[in-house]
Amino acid sequence: MNILHILSQVEVTGAEAYAADLSRQQAAAGHTVFVVSDTLTLPFTATTFFQPISKRSYPQRWNNILWLRRCILEHRIDLVHAHSRAASWVCFFATRLTRTPYVSTVHGRQHLHTSSKSFSVYGRHVIAVCESIRDHLLNDLRLSPSHVTVIPNGIDFGLLEEERRHITKKDLFNIPPERKVILFVGRFTGPKGDVARLLVETIYPLLAEKIPCSLVLIGGTIVPEPIRDVIERAQNRFGPTAIMTLGFQRKLLPYFEAADLVIGSGRIAMEALALEQPVIAFGESTYHGPVTRQNLHVVLATNFGDAGSPTTPSEEQIIADIHSNLQNSPSQQERHELAQRVRATFDLARVTRQVENVYERARLEKICPRVLPVLLYHRLVRTPPRSSCHGLWVTTEQFESQLRSLQRRGFQTITFRQFEEHRRSGRRLPRKPIIITFDDGYEDNYTEAFPLLKKYGLSAVICVMTDPRRINFWDCNEPSVSLMTNDQLRELSSAGIEIGSHTVTHLNVAEADCRRVEEELRSSKQSLEEVLGQEVISFAYPYGVVTPQAKELVRQAGYRYALAGNCGPEQFCDDFFEIRRIQVFPWTNRFGFWKKTQPWYHRYKAWKLLGKSISTNSP
C-alpha cells in the first residue's frame, strides 16, 4: 500500500515523532511511505516532500490542496494520514477530489470557533491519542462516536533499549553526584514554553532553598526571546550548572538515565517511565504531579497532561511534589511495574496494528456502499409444509420471483470470499452488491435453490453443520428434513457457491460452555475445509444469537466473517463478526421484499419497533 503522511511542522513535536515511528514500522511491513511537511527534524524511513502546509491563508491552502491532489495521483497513493488541523484542512479536500481514503490523528485539544464546531475537516476515520482528546472531539467539536478511535502513541522499545548508555550526571552535565538533577523536556514555545518559564522563574528559586539541585531544560528548535531572557537571568543568579539549557536533542535516552526526576508530558513521560525513571506529568493543559501505579489510568487519559481540562496548579504543590520525589524516590518495584504497564500500552507494533485497522475501515468505505443488504433464507420448498411453525421456508416460486426482482433492479450477488478479494486489492465492489445466505444446509438448497441461482447467474453463501446425522435433529418443532451430503457441498463450492460453518451440532454459542464452543468452531471449520479443499472464512451464529465473548471465540477460530440475525450495526463494514441480516419469510410479499432490499430498511424497521414500544408503554 502507498501511504502518505501529512504534517505541518515548523519545529519538532510529538506528532512528528509519532509519524516517524509509524512510517518506519509501515515501511518495515512492506508499505511504500511518503511524508509531506513544512520542515522535518527527525529521520523518516520514507520519501519526503516539503510544502508550506502550516500556512493558513486561503490562497496558500488552495495551492496546498492542488499540490496534494497532484501528489496523490502521481504516486498512486492508497491512503492519506493527516497529523494536525492545518494538514487535515488540506487532506479533507484533496482526498475528496481524488476519492482517496483518509485518516486523521488528533494529538491535542483544538481551538474552538464557529467553523470548527459546524464543519469537521478530520473526516470519518479519526484517531484520538487519548481519552480526553476523544471526549473533546465528541463534546466540543460534535464528531460522531463511531468516527473516533482511541489509539495511543507508539514507541519502539527495542530501539529504546539499544540506545541505553548508563551515563552518570557527572559525565553528562558535569554536575556533582550529590546534587539532584531535574530534567524538563518540551518545546519552549506555546503552552509548554509557559511550563518551562514557570519552572525557571518561580519553581527553581524556591526549590533550591530546600535541596541542592540543578534544572536541565531540553527544548525544541525554537527558543523565543522571552524564554531566553528568563534563562539567562536565572543562570546569572544561580550559576551555569544550576540551570542548564541544551536546546533540541535527537537522542534523549542518556539524559533520562542521568536525571533524578523527569518533568514532561506525552511521549517524553512515556519514554522516561519505560526506562524506570520517576516522572512528574506536567503538560500543556493539566498538572498531574508524580506518576504512580494508582493514578496511571488518569494520567494516560490526558496523555500525561497534554489534553485534559485546563488546570492551574499552585506553585506550592509543584514544589512539594518535586521535593518529595527527590527526597523519597519511588521504589524500584514500583518503577518496574509502571515501566511494564507503559510498555504494554504504547508498544509500537501493537499500536501500528490498531492504526492499520482504522486504515482498513477507511479503505473499505471507498470500495463498499454504506449499506449492503444481506438476505437470510433457510429452506426452499415446492409446496408449503403443513407442520412448520417457524416460517423458515419460502416457496420455489417466491424465490425465483425474488431473484428476478434483484436482477431487474441491477443487484449483483457476491460472496464473502469475493468481498475478501476486493478488500485485499482495494478494487470497488459492484454498484449494487447484495449477499444471499442460507442457514443449516438443507438438501433443498441443492435441489431447489442451486438450479435457480445458476439460471439467473447468481451466487450465495450457505452455512452448514458437520454433524454426521444429516437431518435437522435440533428442531423438534419442524418436520424432519435431510441435509446436504459432502458430495453436494463439493459441487456447490466448485460452482462458486460459498460454504460457511454453522457449528457441528447447531450449538447456541451464546449459552454453551466456552470449551465446547471452541471445539465446535474449530472442528466444523476443519471438517469443511477437508471436504471442500479450501479455507472456510464465513460463519453463521445458530439461532442468530451473538455475544461479545462468542464473537471473540469465532475470531480466534480463524473465521473472518460472522453472520448474525436481527442484530449488529446498520453499516456492513462496521463489524465483520456481527453482520446484520434480513430474513425473508413465507409471508414476505413483493412489496415487502422490495423494502427489505432498500438501503433505508434497517432504519425503517428500527423506527417501527420504536413506535410499537411507545404505543405499548403509553397509558
Selection from 5, 95, 99 nearest residue 49 by Cα = 5
Mean pLDDT along residues 209-236? 88
Q: What are phi and psi of 61, to 5 degrees?
A: -60, -45
**Is the Cβ–Cβ distance between 462 and 528 less than 8 Å?**
no
Quote the pLDDT of residue 295: 94
- Bridge partners of 540, per DSSP, are 563
Q: If pLDDT is split at 50, 70 and 90, which confidence band does 257 have?
A: confident
Q: If pLDDT is split at 50, 70 and 90, which confidence band does 436 have?
A: very high
Q: If pLDDT is split at 50, 70 and 90, which confidence band does 536 have?
A: very high
Q: Is the pLDDT of residue 614 over 90?
A: no
Q: Is the pLDDT of residue 339 over 70?
A: yes
Domain boundaries, the chain: 2-154, 158-346, 368-612
Mean pLDDT along residues 304-309? 88
- Bridge partners of 461, per DSSP, are 437, 498
Quote the pLDDT of residue 366: 86
162 vs 407, which has greater pLDDT? 407
Mean pLDDT along residues 523-538? 97
Crossing angle of helices 58-74/85-98, nearest 10°? Answer: 50
Convert the pLDDT of each residue in 361-387 to its tens digit.
Answer: 899 888 888 789 999 999 999 998 887
Pairing of strands 148-150, 126-128: parallel
Distance from C-alpha of 128 to C-alpha of 126, rounded to nearest angstrom: 6
Quote the pLDDT of residue 130: 95
Q: If pLDDT is split at 50, 70 and 90, which confidence band does 276 have?
A: very high
252 vs 91, which has greater pLDDT? 91
Convert the pLDDT of each residue in 120-177 to its tens digit.
Answer: 899 999 999 999 999 999 999 889 888 999 999 999 887 776 666 666 666 777 788 8
Q: What is the mean pLDDT of the chain?
A: 91
Q: If pLDDT is split at 50, 70 and 90, which confidence band does 486 have?
A: very high
Q: Which helix (H) or strand (E) holds 377?
A: strand 374-377
Mean pLDDT along residues 451-477? 93
End-to-end CA distance of the chain: give it in Å, rounded: 59
Q: Which fold has domain 2-154?
A: Rossmann fold (3.40.50)
DSSP classification of residue 113: -
Distance from C-alpha of 351 to C-alpha of 353, rounded to nearest angstrom: 5
Does this chain's domain 158-346 share its CATH topology with 368-612? no
Distance from C-alpha of 462 to C-alpha of 563, rounded to nearest angstrom: 11
Q: Is the pLDDT of residue 618 over 60?
A: no
C-alpha cell at 342: 507503559
Q: If pLDDT is split at 50, 70 and 90, which confidence band does 465 have?
A: very high
Convert the pLDDT of each residue in 290-299 to its tens digit.
Answer: 999 999 999 9
Selection from 293, 385, 395 nearest residue 339 by Cα = 293
Percent of the chain with pLDDT over 70: 95
435 vs 160, which has greater pLDDT? 435
Selection from 187, 256, 165 nearest residue 41 by Cα = 187
Q: If pLDDT is split at 50, 70 and 90, which confidence band does 118 have?
A: low
Task: Name the pTM for this structure.
Answer: 0.78
Q: If pLDDT is split at 50, 70 and 90, which confidence band does 89 have?
A: very high
Domain 158-346 - what CATH class? alpha beta
Distance from C-alpha of 461 to C-alpha of 438, rounded to nearest angstrom: 6
For residue 222, the tally of other CB atoms under 10 A from its CB is 16
Quote the pLDDT of residue 191: 87
Quote the pLDDT of residue 611: 61
Q: If pLDDT is split at 50, 70 and 90, which confidence band does 566 have?
A: confident
Q: If pLDDT is split at 50, 70 and 90, which confidence band does 332 have?
A: very high
Q: Which fold has domain 368-612?
A: TIM Barrel (3.20.20)
Angle at 601 between CA 121 and CA 142, to 5 degrees: 25
Quote the pLDDT of residue 164: 60
Q: If pLDDT is split at 50, 70 and 90, which confidence band does 327 have?
A: very high
